[in-house]
Amino acid sequence: MMPPEAQAWAALLRRPGSWGAGTRALATLALMSVGAVVMLVVGAGTLFCARRLYREVLARGLARAILGIWRIRVVVHPDRSWPESQTIYISNHTSTIDLFVLVALGLPRTRFFLSGFVRKLLPLGVISTLMGTFHTPLQADRAARVRCFQAAERRLRRTGDSVYLSPEGERVTTGAIGPFNKGAFHLATSLGVPIVPLYIAVPREIDPGKGYAARPGTVHLYVGPPIPTAGWRLEDLERNRQSVRDLYVAVQAGLRAGRGSDAWSRVAPVRG
């Protein structure tokens, strides 16, 4: 019987669609495996105490190399520097490509929330652990998820690190904006730091969905204005969650209507 990580890779690499795409998927697996070994060696040499090095240099370089294998170009709108102060980044999540795009950005002092499933994929599990990722339990295990977010909040308060997480919680391959979970908004309310919303537009013709057989093309990432949360209260959590989701629905509609990089400026801001 195949080990769990091999079963997981087999599922993710299913039906590549073409010989070229399948070859790129296998090259991705090979490069990630080499990258994981390199990060382990560097980690051991730095006593596993250099998270920013692992995230912003090694993992970023690896993500860019993988995007290069896929021949995917990333265009950021607007192309500007990222905040150095503590920030919560959120985005829609439609594709495997998203994670590599986000890591390739090199967001300063930024940890990630990722599904605990990632740890079943041996290269990704090693890399994400060295990056200081918060691995979230399944939605069904509510108690474990609460403990995970509480521990993350304590660590973020102590370190002042920024964090990325997807409110959708999983890849939504229908083309629509999925339901938003409360975690990101509870965290933002508790920490009182701004949310920077990102919209990742992956063209259907290059999107591998939940697989790794991406095709060449251009991914556009649209950066919205920061959403202040200093005045948010926990009793308004549901309203704020829905307001931000409505914002994403409006931005998506604007992009599909051809408004391009102007899409964020044409929607009403979220108010606490």
pLDDT of amino acid 4: 45
- The CATH code of the domain that includes 112 is 3.40.1130
The answer to whether 127 and 39 have CB atoms below 8 angstroms apart is yes
* 133 occurs within a structural domain: yes
Is 204 contained in some domain? yes
- The boundaries of the domain holding residue 61 are 4-266
* Other Cβ atoms closer than 10 A to 101: 22
The Cα 216–Cα 72 span in angstroms is: 5
Question: Is the link from the previous residue into 78 a cis peptide, with omega within 30 of 0?
Answer: yes
For 271, the token pair is 């108010």
Instruction: Round to whole Å and give the CA distance between 97 and 210.
Output: 9
In a domain? residue 272? no
Q: Nearest 5 degrees, angle CA 259-CA 270-CA 136?
A: 95
Residue 271 lies in a domain: no
What pLDDT, on the 0 to 100 scale, is given for residue 199?
97
Checking if the pLDDT of 131 tops 70, the result is yes
**Of residues 118 and 50, which shows the higher confidence score?**
50
* Total domains, the chain: 1
For residues 139 and 148, the answer to whether their CB atoms sit within 8 Å is no
pTM: 0.90
User: In this predicted structure, what is the pLDDT of residue 259?
Assistant: 77
**What is the mean predicted confidence (pLDDT) over 236-256?**
94
